[in-house]
C-alpha cells in the first residue's frame, strides 16, 4: 500500500511536469492548429539557461529562491527564442498545410538542439536545485522534495494560465482566435499577435518544465526525449483541450510511475525500462477506443 | 482521340533506353494532332502521354543518361565513395516508400524507421547463422530474404493502417512517432533476435544465385559488386514506384491526399486505399532496411531511432514530395551530405573534426539537416524537383517569363 502511494506521488510529480509540456503543445495547437515539434528544443534551452543562471545569481540567501528566480529568467529568455523562431519560420507559413509547418518545427528542433547541446558539453550539467534528491516524510510516506516542488510550481502556473485565459483581454483574444480565426480578425483581434503570444507562452512553459525535470540528474543531451512524452499526454486528453492536457499529463505520469514500480514483478518479459515506452502503449490503446482523445473535440465532417 | 504510337507499358522496357532509342516514342514525330512543336520539346499533348511512364522525350533521354553515367561510375570512383553511393541507393529505396504513403497518399508517417527495423531484422534472421548466438535460419539467398523482409514489414504496415483510417493529420503523425519508440524498445530488449543494445548482430548476406557479393571477386571488387546490385534494385523499385503512381491505385492515393472526402464521394474506398498505401510503403521500407546493413555487414538496435525517420522525411521533402525522381535526388543529397561536410574543415578552419570541440563537423551536419528542411519548406516547397521545374519552365517558355 505504502509502495503504491509513494509510486502515485512520484507519478503525480513528473505527471504535473508532463502536464506543463502538454499545455504548451495544446496552446500552440489551439492558436495555430499546428503541433510544434520544436518543444523539446525549447525545453532543453530553458534547462540549460537555468543551469547557467543559478550559479551566477547564487547569492540569494533564502532556500530555493535563486532557483525560482533563474527559472523565471530562463522562461523569459526561452520565450524570446520561441518568438524569434515564430517570426522567422512560422509566420511566413500561415495558411500552408499543417503538416508542412509541423515538419518545419522538426527542422527547427534539430537545429536549436545542436546549438544548445554545444553549451551542455559531454556530461550532465547540475541545475543548482537546492534540495537535490532529498527526501521528506509526509503522512507516513517517503517523498522526494523535488516532486512536491514540481506539483506546487505546476499548480501555480496552471492556475495563472487559466486565470489568463478567462480573465484577461489577451486571453479572450486567444480563445477567440482559437475558436474562429477569421471571425476573430473581423472583431479586431490581431491574429499575428496571438500566434506570437502562443509561441512565447509555449517556450516559457517548456523552459519551466525542462528546469524542473533536470532537478534530478541535471541537464544532459537525452533530456529532450522527455518532452515527447507530452505527445501521448495530449493525444489522451485531446489535442485541443487545456483541461485534457493537464489530465492527460497527470495520467501519463502516474501510469509511467506505476509501470516502473510493478512491471518488473508482474510482467518481466516486457523487458527493462518498459516504463519509458508505456505512455506510447497507453496512447495506442486509448486511440483504438477514442480516436480524438478523452476530452478532444471529434472532427465533424460535412460535405 | 490520340494518334500516338502505342506505348509499351512494361516496367523495364524503357529503363535501358539510351539517347538513341527515342524515335518510336510518344514525343517522336507522328501525324496529325500529335505533331511536335519545333524547338519546343516536352509539352504533353494528350492525357495518355501525361500518364505514360516516361512522358516526354527529354525525360527518357535524361533517365537513360543517368543510368549510363551510373554504370560507368564504378570504374572511375574509389571504393569508399562507391560504398557510400550504394548505401545512398538503399536510402533512396526507403525514401521512395515514404514518398508513396506521405507524398502520394498524404498520410504523415514519422514511423518509417520502425518498418526499416522490422525489415532489417527479418532479413538478418532468415539469412543468419543457425548456430550463432542470435536467431538465424541460414537461408542466405537474397531472392528469399529480400521479399520476406518486405512482406513482414508490409504486414506491420497493415496492422497500423486501421489506426490510420480513423486518425487524420497530426494525430497520425504522433501515433507513428510512438511506433518508433515502442519499436526501439522491442529491438533493444529482444536480444535473442537483435543481439541487444550496443552489441548488435550480423546483417543479411547478399548472396545472389549462389554468388556471395560481399566477397570481392576477381573481376570486380566487393564495393563495385554491391554498387551494381543496389543500383539495379533501385531501378526496379523506382520503376515500380513510378508505375504505382500512374496506375488507378496511384491516382486514388493522390485523390485521398488532396481531399479525402471528395475522394470518398468518387467511390474510392478510403480504408482500403490507406491500407494499401501503408502496406506498399512498409514493403519498400522493409526491403530498404534489409539491404541497408548488408553493405556494412553489421548493425545494432539503436539504428532505428527518430532521427532516421526524420532523415527520410527530409529526403522526401528536400527532393520533392510526390515525385520519384525528386525523391531519389533528395535521398542521394541527404546521404551524401556527411561526405560533403567531412570536407568542410579543409576550407573553414573554424570547424573542427574532433567530436569534443565546438563547432565540429557532426554538429554542422545536423544543423544542416534541420536548416535545409526549414529552408526548403519556406522557399521551395516542391524541393529539388521544384527547382528543376523552375529551370525547365524558364527555358521552355523563353523568351516569355510566364
- Determine the 3-state secondary structure of A37 from DSSP: coil
Distance from CA of B244 to the nearest CA of A (A): 24
pTM, rounded to two decimals: 0.85
Task: Return the CATH number at B338.
Answer: 1.10.3470
Q: A284 vs B175: CB contact, 8 Å cut-off?
A: yes
Q: Which three cell numbers stand for residue A77?
A: 529568455
Residues of A in contact with B369 (CB under 8 A): 107, 110
What are the residue ranges spanned by the domains of chain A? 1-224
pLDDT, tens only, A128-178: 777 777 777 777 777 888 888 889 999 999 999 999 988 998 888 888 888
- Pair B112, B98: CB distance under 8 Å: yes
CA dist A207 and A198 (Å) reads: 14
CA dist B390 and B387 (Å) reads: 5
CA dist B316 and B325 (Å) reads: 10
- Pair A50, A127: CB distance under 8 Å: yes
Task: Report pLDDT for B17.
Answer: 35
Give chain B's contact residues with A (Cβ, < 8 Å).
Answer: 108, 163, 166-171, 173-175, 177-179, 181-182, 184-186, 188-190, 261, 265, 310, 313-314, 317, 356, 358-359, 363, 366-367, 369-374, 377-378, 381
Beta-strand ranges (E) seen in B69-176 are none
CA dist B321 and B98 (Å) reads: 9
Domain membership flag for residue B29: no
Which of the two residues, A175 and B198, has the higher pLDDT score?
Answer: A175
pLDDT band at B260 (very low <50, low <70, confident <90, very high): confident
- Average model confidence (pLDDT) for chain A? 85
Task: Report pLDDT for B7.
Answer: 36
pLDDT, tens only, B107-133: 888 889 999 999 999 988 888 777 777
- Pair A20, A154: CB distance under 8 Å: yes
Domain membership flag for residue B244: yes
- Determine the 3-state secondary structure of B212 from DSSP: strand
What is the domain range of residue B366?
55-397
> What is the number of structural domains in chain B?
1
pLDDT, tens only, A257-278: 888 888 777 777 777 778 888 8
- Pair A295, A238: CB distance under 8 Å: yes
Distance from CA of B317 to the nearest CA of A (A): 9
pLDDT, tens only, B351-388: 777 666 667 777 888 888 888 888 888 888 788 888 88
Closest CA to A255 of A290, A215, A222, A285: A285
Between the ranges A53-67, A287-301, B161-175, where is the mean pLDDT highest? B161-175
Closest CA to B316 of B102, B143, B44, B133: B102
pLDDT, tens only, B126-173: 887 777 777 877 777 888 889 999 999 999 999 888 877 777 677 888
pLDDT band at A30 (very low <50, low <70, confident <90, very high): confident
CA dist B35 and B176 (Å) reads: 49
- Pair B33, B45: CB distance under 8 Å: yes
Residue in B163, B181, B313 nearest the CB of A280: B181
Q: Which three cell numbers stand for residue A29?
A: 495547437
B201-202 and B298-299 strand pairing: antiparallel
| pLDDT of residue A187 exceeding 60 | yes
Domain membership flag for residue B47: no
Domain membership flag for residue B95: yes
- Cβ neighbors of A104 (< 8 A, separation 6 or more) are A89, A90, A93, B373, B374, B377, B378
Amino acid at each position: 500500500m505504502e509502495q503504491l502511494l509513494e509510486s502515485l506521488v512520484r507519478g503525480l510529480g513528473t505527471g504535473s511536469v508532463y502536464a506543463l509540456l502538454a499545455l504548451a503543445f495544446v496552446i500552440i495547437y489551439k492558436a495555430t492548429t499546428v503541433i510544434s515539434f520544436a518543444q523539446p528544443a525549447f525545453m532543453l534551452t530553458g534547462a540549460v539557461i537555468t543551469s547557467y543562471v543559478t550559479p551566477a545569481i547564487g547569492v540569494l540567501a533564502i532556500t530555493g529562491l535563486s532557483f525560482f528566480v533563474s527559472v523565471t529568467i530562463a522562461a523569459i529568455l526561452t520565450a524570446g527564442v520561441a518568438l524569434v523562431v515564430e517570426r522567422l519560420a512560422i509566420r511566413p507559413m500561415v495558411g500552408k498545410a499543417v503538416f508542412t509547418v509541423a515538419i518545419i518545427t522538426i527542422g527547427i528542433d534539430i537545429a536549436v538542439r545542436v546549438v544548445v547541446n554545444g553549451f551542455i558539453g559531454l556530461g550532465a550539467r547540475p541545475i543548482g536545485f537546492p534540495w537535490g534528491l532529498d527526501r521528506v516524510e509526509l503522512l507516513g510516506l517517503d517523498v522526494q522534495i523535488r516532486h512536491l516542488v514540481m506539483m506546487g510550481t505546476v499548480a501555480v502556473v496552471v492556475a495563472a494560465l487559466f486565470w489568463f485565459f478567462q480573465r484577461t483581454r489577451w486571453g479572450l483574444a486567444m480563445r477567440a482566435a482559437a475558436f474562429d480565426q477569421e471571425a476573430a480578425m473581423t472583431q479586431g483581434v490581431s491574429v499575428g499577435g496571438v500566434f506570437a503570444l502562443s509561441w512565447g507562452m509555449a517556450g516559457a512553459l517548456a523552459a519551466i518544465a525542462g528546469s524542473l525535470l533536470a532537478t534530478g540528474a541535471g541537464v544532459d543531451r537525452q533530456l529532450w526525449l522527455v518532452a515527447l512524452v507530452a505527445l501521448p499526454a495530449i493525444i489522451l486528453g485531446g489535442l485541443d483541450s487545456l483541461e485534457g492536457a493537464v489530465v492527460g499529463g497527470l495520467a501519463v505520469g502516474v501510469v509511467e510511475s506505476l509501470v516502473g514500480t510493478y512491471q518488473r514483478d508482474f510482467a518481466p518479459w516486457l523487458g527493462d525500462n518498459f516504463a519509458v515506452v508505456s505512455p506510447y502503449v497507453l496512447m495506442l490503446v486509448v486511440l483504438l477506443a477514442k480516436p480524438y482523445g478523452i476530452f478532444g473535440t471529434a472532427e465533424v465532417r460535412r460535405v | 482521340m490520340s494518334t500516338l504510337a502505342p506505348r509499351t507499358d512494361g516496367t523495364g522496357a524503357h529503363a535501358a533506353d539510351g539517347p538513341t532509342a527515342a524515335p518510336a516514342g510518344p514525343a517522336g514525330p507522328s501525324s496529325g494532332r500529335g505533331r511536335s512543336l519545333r524547338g519546343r520539346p516536352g509539352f504533353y499533348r494528350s492525357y495518355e502521354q501525361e500518364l505514360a511512364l516516361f512522358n516526354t522525350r527529354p525525360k527518357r533521354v535524361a533517365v537513360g543518361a543517368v543510368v549510363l553515367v551510373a554504370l560507368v561510375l564504378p570504374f572511375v570512383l574509389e571504393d569508399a565513395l562507391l560504398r557510400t553511393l550504394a548505401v545512398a541507393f538503399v536510402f533512396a529505396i526507403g525514401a521512395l516508400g515514404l514518398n508513396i504513403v506521405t507524398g502520394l497518399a498524404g498520410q504523415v508517417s514519422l514511423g518509417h524507421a520502425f518498418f526499416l527495423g522490422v525489415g532489417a531484422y527479418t532479413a538478418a534472421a532468415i539469412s543468419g547463422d543457425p548456430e550463432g548466438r542470435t536467431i538465424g535460419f541460414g537461408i542466405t539467398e537474397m531472392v528469399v530474404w529480400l521479399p520476406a523482409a518486405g512482406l513482414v514489414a508490409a504486414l506491420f504496415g497493415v496492422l497500423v493502417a486501421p489506426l490510420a483510417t480513423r486518425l487524420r493529420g497530426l494525430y497520425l503523425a504522433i501515433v507513428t512517432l510512438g511506433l518508433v519508440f515502442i519499436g526501439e524498445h522491442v529491438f533493444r530488449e529482444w536480444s535473442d533476435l537483435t543481439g541487444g543494445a550496443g552489441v548488435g548482430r550480423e546483417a543479411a548476406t547478399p548472396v545472389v544465385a549462389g554468388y556471395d557479393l560481399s566477397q570481392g571477386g576477381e573481376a570486380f571488387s566487393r564495393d563495385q559488386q554491391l554498387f551494381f546490385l543496389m543500383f539495379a534494385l533501385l531501378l526496379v523499385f523506382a520503376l515500380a514506384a513510378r508505375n504505382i503512381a500512374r496506375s488507378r491505385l496511384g491516382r486514388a492515393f493522390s485523390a485521398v491526399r488532396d481531399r479525402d472526402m471528395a475522394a470518398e464521394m468518387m467511390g474510392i474506398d478510403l480504408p482500403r486505399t490507406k491500407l494499401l498505401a501503408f502496406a506498399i510503403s512498409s514493403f519498400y521500407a522493409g526491403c530498404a532496411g534489409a539491404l541497408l546493413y548488408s553493405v556494412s555487414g553489421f548493425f545494432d538496435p539503436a539504428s532505428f531511432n527518430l532521427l532516421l525517420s526524420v532523415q527520410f522525411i527530409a529526403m522526401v521533402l528536400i527532393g520533392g514530395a510526390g515525385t520519384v525522381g525528386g525523391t531519389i535526388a533528395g535521398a542521394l543529397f541527404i546521404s551524401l551530405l556527411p561526405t560533403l561536410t567531412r570536407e568542410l574543415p579543409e576550407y573553414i578552419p573554424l570547424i573542427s573534426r574532433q567530436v569534443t570541440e565546438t563547432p565540429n563537423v557532426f554538429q554542422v551536419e545536423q544543423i544542416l539537416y534541420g536548416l535545409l528542411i526549414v529552408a526548403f519548406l519556406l522557399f521551395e516547397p516542391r524541393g529539388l524537383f521544384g527547382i528543376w521545374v523552375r529551370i525547365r519552365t524558364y527555358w521552355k517558355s523563353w523568351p516569355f517569363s510566364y
